[in-house]
Chains A and B, each alone.
Chain A
């Protein structure tokens, strides 16, 4: 579906990292595609029927592509469905979600990939691209049907929230995945070393009386993964790093020319372990929130390009898994709706430029996952977000669209609000003042 009439978005700031563009301009949309964008887009005449939208004061960016989204469908629909997640995404300016296979059943079979794609086609507002399990049932024992799953539409292969323990299996899976040019995106937390830890290991955890997770639980599997990635030549993505030394390891691997990339969750760019306060379970995350030095290292690594992408790591949990003592609660926080607003904190603080942020939220993930989008150049689908970069607002939990309300940004003050989200030129979300 596309807008019936052409539309001209006029008098915008256009931020398009794919072309190094960051300045005033217009965007002309015809038949769901970007016909022209930039300083001259509206000057060469537009079709007679064109709807003109005055967008003075707004910034246009390519729709966000969120590389790590957990959804409860199939199996745990009370937490989140593909449809409800897509509404949350639209409200947050996310036009494409990479959906994690951690469902019930696990997405490790082509029939389930097809189910996700069909459900998304029928019910979702935004693009949904399934990531499939690298190993059957995410059990870390036998590799899944990587070739068939990739043909069915899986854009990446991942293995849940813990590192794969079996080095031989991981090596073979990487070797096999390389033949199919598949992206292997793994979280790197050693289940044994993390043990029963529930937050960053250190003084704060000790005062709280909570078992900690050492930084080495992340660094050791990451360094192992990077070595095996170099050995096998696989396209490897460290999905969620949280520790300064992890960024160093990625930086070194890139300097050696290996095909590696990494992501960071928005939480680890904007929060630290002190936010846990008095055992607030919505701040119980995996990997755990680290200290301020690590957070600052994540921001620096994002700014210098070591970190490729920012993800929401949207992870809906309900009262049954969150209204519990901290040590007994589940990990995870929702994040689709706050992804852009919280990322803009880094822009307003002067730590990261706006084009670099947009690149990490849209352009780079499009490249990594091999998707259309991530650009505003002519010919691309008109997946566009209009943002009021400075608009102040406060997140009220009850206003969240997501079916689960476990946000780490309850009552947070933001500057920057999504005003309109478009998919193929069609408005799927509009801010109502």
Chain B
């Protein structure tokens, strides 16, 4: 995928969020990811680009699929991958985030993938470690590789992002996926809508570059893309929404609700899905659903990001 020359248009040591990327940098990563898709579709998926490099996946929040995606991406590029998750780390014994990171840093990894429940955790660690760092989700702040893989999925299906109407539906308040997507889709010229009960919208949402709707019928009207978000179980019992039954009735996506969108609208979900809560199986498994493609694009995007950062790192070290 790479011609071994880092792009002059991508000069970041870490990937902490979409907010720090320019439109050109986003497009560059998407273009690189296109090449990675081709690699992953060959019988021989192994490259030597990152041979000898060490990748540590540091996951303070359990996330089977994101961790697996990063692991696979690293392995396909030839890196040595180590997984550390909260369950078997010393954080449970009282060690702070920074102490853990400094310990790992002393092991001289080349790239650190961090998932943490606190917003800003990635930015904090980035100041402390010597290696590249990818934010794989920090609280309700950002999840940049998810937004990139969503964009790649949309671009491959529709040929462009600009001027598409994208409706992001569900728990916007707690969603890093929503924030990263709002930033990225706006950067590439899409028209972004959010659809949710007001209890699941952050303050100031109307000034975040989106149109706000409280009704699926209105929010999905003529949409090109319907992006559903997961609603955590603990938020459906009266705190933010009354019940699962009511949530699905007013904010769930079924084939009837989907009719408001364009007939060829893409249905997306970052996973894992709550079938019958935010999305009906008939829609999740329909031809309009690109949920499986999103997973495939996830590996490709992560390969592209890691390679871009590490080749950049090589240039920095040499210069």
Contacts and interface: CB of A to CB of B under 8 A. Distances in A.
Interface stretch (A42-50, A139-147, A388-396, A413-421): A139-147
Interface of A: 135-136, 141-148, 169, 172, 175-176, 178-179, 232
Contacts, number: 46
Interface stretch (B46-54, B147-155, B237-245): B237-245
B10 interface: no
Contact of A176 (B197, B237, B245, B249): B197
A176 B238 contact: no
Given A175-B198, A176-B199, A178-B198, A148 B249 contact: yes
Given A176-B197, A176-B198, A176-B199, A142 B246 contact: no
Contacts of B174: none
Contacts of A146: 242, 246
B279 to A, nearest CB: 18
Given A147-B246, A147-B250, A179-B214, A142 B198 contact: no
Interface of B: 197-199, 214, 237-243, 245-246, 249-250
Contact of B198 (A144, A147, A179): A179
Q: List 3 tightest A-B contacts by C-beta distance, closest first.
A: A142-B238, A145-B242, A145-B246
22 contacts: A136-B238, A136-B242, A141-B238, A142-B239, A143-B238, A144-B238, A144-B242, A145-B246, A146-B242, A147-B250, A148-B245, A148-B246, A148-B249, A169-B239, A172-B199, A172-B240, A175-B197, A175-B198, A176-B197, A176-B198, A176-B242, A179-B214
A294 B74 CA distance: 75
A232 to B, nearest CB: 8
A179 B198 CA distance: 7
B234 to A, nearest CB: 12
A187 B198 CA distance: 24
B104 to A, nearest CB: 38
B241 to A, nearest CB: 7
A145 B242 CA distance: 5
A147 B249 contact: yes
Contacts of A145: 242-243, 245-246
A176 B239 CA distance: 10
Contacts of A172: 199, 239-240
Contacts of A147: 242, 246, 249-250
Nearest to A231: B203
Contacts of B245: 145, 148
Contacts of B239: 142-143, 169, 172
A143 B197 contact: no
A143 B241 CA distance: 7
A145 B243 CA distance: 7
Given A146-B242, A176-B241, 12 more contacts: A142-B242, A144-B238, A144-B242, A145-B245, A145-B246, A147-B246, A148-B249, A176-B197, A176-B198, A176-B240, A178-B198, A179-B214
A182 B239 CA distance: 18
A254 to B, nearest CB: 23
Contact of B199 (A135, A141, A144, A175): A175
Tell me which of B199, B240, B243 has the highest count of chain A C-beta atoms within 10 A of its own C-beta: B199
Contacts of B238: 135-136, 141-144
Contacts of B242: 136, 142-148, 176
Nearest to B238: A142
A27 to B, nearest CB: 41
A135 B239 CA distance: 10
Contacts of B246: 145-148
A56 B214 CA distance: 54
